[in-house]
Structure 1
Amino acid sequence: MTDVTTRPLSPSEFDAWQDAVARGYADSQVAAGVWPADEALDRAVELNRTLLPHGLDTPGVLLLRGVRADGTPVGRLWISLTHPRGVSDCAFLFDIEVDAAFRGQGLGRALLGAAEAAVREHGITQLELNVFGDNAVAIGLYASAGYQVVTQQMRRRLT
């Protein structure tokens, strides 16, 4: 496995990431049929503002850049050290993303391992995440890394 370490996002990386993560989340919500397209980006931006009220300086949040051993930045992590639904001793991975140019090289697994290491460094013994049902690659990665389904939503379109 490729080794990936982490460092905090810089202010300029944070600014660019905020836009990208909001757009990606909005697109996923629209694709899942949860939000209407014309409201999705505004909702995602507002949600991120709520979850990160102090930006990079939001307490209890890790905003990290995944970096290969040669210093090349390859991805990003957004981790809350407190679970959004109050699960005890459980951090929450809001976002994990390998930069497009580096996908398919095993870096997703390495970045996930780096997220787990960061959580363990804070004395937390569990990490939870959400994955959209149509993201088979991510579902496969998480399952092969030992993540188990703890809740599941299902929907059927009635036409």
Structure 2
Amino acid sequence: MTGLSLRPMTPDEFVTWQEQLARDFAEDKVTAGAWPADGALDRARRFNAETLPQGLDTPRMLMLRAVLDDGTPVGQVWITFDHPRGAADCAFLYDIEVDAAHRGRGLGRALLEAAERTVREHGLPALELNVFGGNDRAIALYRSAGYAVTSQLMRKSLD
């Protein structure tokens, strides 16, 4: 496999990514039963705007693009160095994704490893993330990379 590295996301990439991120987040929340479909996209957009009030320039946030050695962009990662629930000495991975056209080639693992290196380079000894219950492929990747479940939210439909 060709090498993978991370570079800062460009302003144009950021705009495109923010819209897709909001769509994906809204869909995941609706599928998980956490949000009603009506208004979910607006709610996801508000979450992004509140979490990234200065966009790409929001302090202690990294929005990075994954690129192959030949410069081909293949994914992105969003990391914060201030854990959203206040966990000490722990970064949080808000988003990690390999672009659809590049999946199935081991790039997810390479991207996760690059994100972990970035966190270590910034002096933090731990990285935490959230994964939706139905995302079996991601859950398997995280488990095989040494991530452990630290909390688990469960739901049963009573219809």
TM-score, scaled relative to structure 2: 0.98
Displacement after TM superposition at 1:2 (Å): 5.0
Partner of 1:156: helix, strand, or coil?
coil
What is the letter of the counterpart of residue 111 of structure 1?
L
Q: Does structure 2 retain, via aligned residues, the 8 Å contact 1:83–1:90?
A: yes
Partner of 2:76: helix, strand, or coil?
strand
Q: Does 1:105 align with 2:95?
A: no
Unaligned segments of structure 2, at least 5 residues: none
Displacement after TM superposition at 1:68 (Å): 1.0
What is the letter of the counterpart of residue 71 of structure 2?
G
Q: Does structure 2 retain, via aligned residues, the 8 Å contact 1:66–1:75?
A: yes
What is the letter of the counterpart of residue 39 of structure 1?
G
Q: Does structure 2 retain, via aligned residues, the 8 Å contact 1:2–1:107?
A: no
For residue 16 of structure 1, what is the aligned residue in structure 2? Answer: 16
Q: Percent same amino acid at aligned positions?
A: 62
CA distance in 1: counterparts of 2:82 and 2:66, whole angstroms: 21
Q: Does structure 2 retain, via aligned residues, the 8 Å contact 1:2–1:110?
A: no
What is the letter of the counterpart of residue 121 of structure 1?
E
Matched residues, number: 159
Unaligned segments of structure 1, at least 5 residues: none
Displacement after TM superposition at 1:42 (Å): 0.5
Partner of 1:113: helix, strand, or coil?
helix
Q: Hey, which bits of structure 1, 4+ residues long, moved more than 2 A?
A: none
What is the letter of the counterpart of residue 68 of structure 1?
L
For residue 134 of structure 2, what is the aligned residue in structure 1? Answer: 134
For residue 76 of structure 1, what is the aligned residue in structure 2? Answer: 76
Q: Does structure 2 retain, via aligned residues, the 8 Å contact 1:92–1:128?
A: yes
Partner of 1:5: helix, strand, or coil?
strand
